[in-house]
Structure 1
C-alpha cells in the first residue's frame, strides 16, 4: 500500500503520471514474479516457503522507516522544495536527515 500512495505525495505535478506508471508497472512485475515462484517454492520447501515472505515484509519495514522521507503535516510545496535540485539535499536517501524524518513542517 505504501508505494501506491507515497509516490503521489513525493512527486511533483509534472511527474505524477510517470510515478504512477512506474509504481503500477513495478507492482505488476513483482506480482508476476511472485506468482511464478510461489508454486515451485511451496512444492520444494512446503510450508517453510512463507518464511521468505515474512523476511521480505520485515525488510520492507526497515526500508520504509529508514529510506522514505516523512510526509505527515507537509504540503506538496514543502516536498517540492525538499526534492528540488537547488535545495541543498545532496542525496536522495534521507538517512540521518533530521528534516526528512521530522513530522513538523520545515
Structure 2
C-alpha cells in the first residue's frame, strides 16, 4: 500500500475489532456501513469497467473528483480506469478540445 498524500493509518487486529464490536454496537454499525460502502464502490467500479467506454469513465471520474489530475500521477489514474497512460492522455486532450468548442 502506498499513500500519495500524508495519511494517518489506524491498524486494528481482527480479534480486537470483534471485541470492539461486541462492546459497543455503534462501532459495529459503523463497521457495517463502511463495509457496505466498500462493497458498493467495488461494484460501481466493476460495472463501469464492463459497461462504459474509456471516455465515459474519464468523464465520470472528472465529474466526481475534479482535482484528481492535480493530486494523482496519470499512470495511477490510467490503471484505475483500465486504460493505458497514453490512451488517457489522448482522451483528456479530446475532452478538453470538446469543452473549448
TM over 0.5: no
User: What TM-score results when the alignment is normalised by the length of structure 2?
Assistant: 0.35
Larger radius of gyration between Structure 1 and Structure 2:
2
User: What TM-score results when the alignment is normalised by the length of structure 1?
Assistant: 0.34
Greater relative CO, 1 or 2 (CA 8 Å, sep 6+): 1
